[in-house]
């Protein structure tokens, strides 16, 4: 195993719970990267050229973002630090430092079973890459993952929680697996109505969701850019739908016939991973988005009878969320 340096100013999330668990008595342990990985790309909304580096982190660290272009800028990847949800999920700290468009990277961490990592970034948002999580998944696979000594914790949903707003709604219900069911409804003939329901287990995220790209509408581009959004958007990183001519502008069209709704699931996986761990429960969304996803976590954590931090059972360990990546054992490397 490569040496893991302690991150200065590291935020520890829930260590008082994790320290009480006996890691040797269960099959699932926390994971981090086996080495550092990096990439460069454009920010979808800022249009800035951004460099990103992801480093291994110690157990109980969670996901931590560090703005390398700012002094002592640390932002925990946690729902409590969400400061904006317009078009993407933005995290911020008390100093006013922000990092946006975190959802695709968070989804890759969730889908590949990465519990702890430090993300160094020299700009205001995670680079959009191709508009999906595929590039991040490939980077994680290239690095490999390593098991740590502490037990993995999961957030078990104990009762139904629902949030709605003007006909849109999201909910979490008890389940013995991480499940996602989403329906989207648009007024055009390209996206139209789509729905999907699937379990995010045994590598299914990487197989079914990781390549689904973000999408937008040609007729909305001018207004978005006037508002300072989508400045880095292009056919290289987004599906662009021309509703007037009823066509998709990207060469090659869609990667999957229901790529639109699959991307909404990808977003939800990333947004919910800001809970601090994998959620064992069923998420359902109707015309959902980043704002409702975050409000759902707020509602969940505000009701202490609706959740519990737990460790995966032996049965649950057989369908662990690991992206199909075989982890190294830290005690043998």
Q: How far apart are CA 16 and CA 14, in angstroms?
A: 5
Q: How far apart are CA 272 and CA 302, in angstroms?
A: 15
Q: Token digits for 41?
A: 């790309």
Is 193 one of the annotated active-site residues of the chain?
A: no
Q: In what order do the strands lie in the sheet with 63-67?
A: 37-42, 49-56, 117-121, 63-67, 74-76
DSSP per-residue string spanning 29-94: EEEEESS-EEEEEE-TTT--EEEEEEEE--TT--EEEEETTSTT-EEESSGGGEEE-SSS-EEE-T
| Cβ–Cβ < 8 Å for 198, 179 | yes
Select from 116, 144, 128, 186 the least CA-distant residue to 37. 144
For the annotated catalytic residues, the residue numbers are: 290
């Amino acid at each position: 195993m490569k040496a893991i340096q302690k991150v200065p100013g590291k935020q520890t999330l829930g260590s008082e719970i994790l320290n009480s668990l006996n890691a040797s008595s269960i099959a699932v342990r926390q994971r981090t990267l086996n080495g550092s990985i990096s990439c460069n790309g454009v920010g979808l909304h800022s249009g800035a050229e951004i460099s990103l580096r992801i480093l291994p982190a110690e157990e109980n660290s969670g996901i931590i973002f560090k703005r390398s272009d700012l002094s002592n800028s640390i932002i925990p990847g946690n729902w409590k630090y969400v400061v904006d949800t317009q078009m993407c999920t933005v995290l911020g700290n008390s100093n006013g430092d922000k990092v946006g468009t975190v959802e695709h990277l968070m989804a890759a961490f969730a889908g590949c079973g990465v519990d702890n990592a430090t993300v160094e970034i020299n700009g205001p948002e995670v680079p959009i890459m191709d508009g999906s999580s595929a590039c991040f998944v490939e980077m994680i696979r290239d690095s490999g993952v390593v098991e740590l000594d502490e037990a993995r914790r999961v957030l078990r949903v104990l009762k139904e929680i629902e949030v709605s707003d003007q006909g849109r709604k999201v909910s979490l219900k008890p389940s013995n697996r991480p499940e996602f069911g989403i329906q989207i409804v648009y007024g055009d003939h390209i996206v139209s109505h789509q729905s999907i329901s699937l379990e995010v287990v045994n590598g299914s995220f990487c197989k079914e969701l990781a390549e689904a790209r973000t999408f937008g509408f040609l007729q909305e581009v001018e207004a978005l850019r006037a508002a300072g959004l989508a400045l880095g958007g292009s056919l290289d990183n987004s599906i662009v739908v021309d509703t007037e001519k009823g066509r998709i502008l990207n060469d090659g069209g869609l990667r999957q016939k229901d790529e639109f709704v699959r991307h909404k699931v990808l977003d939800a996986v990333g947004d919910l991973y800001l809970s601090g761990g994998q959620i064992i429960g069923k998420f359902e969304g109707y015309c959902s988005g980043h704002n409702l996803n975050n409000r759902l976590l707020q509602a969940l954590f505000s009701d202490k009878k609706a959740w519990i931090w737990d460790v995966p059972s032996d049965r649950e360990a057989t369908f662990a969320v690991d992206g199909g990546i075989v982890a190294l054992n830290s005690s043998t490397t």
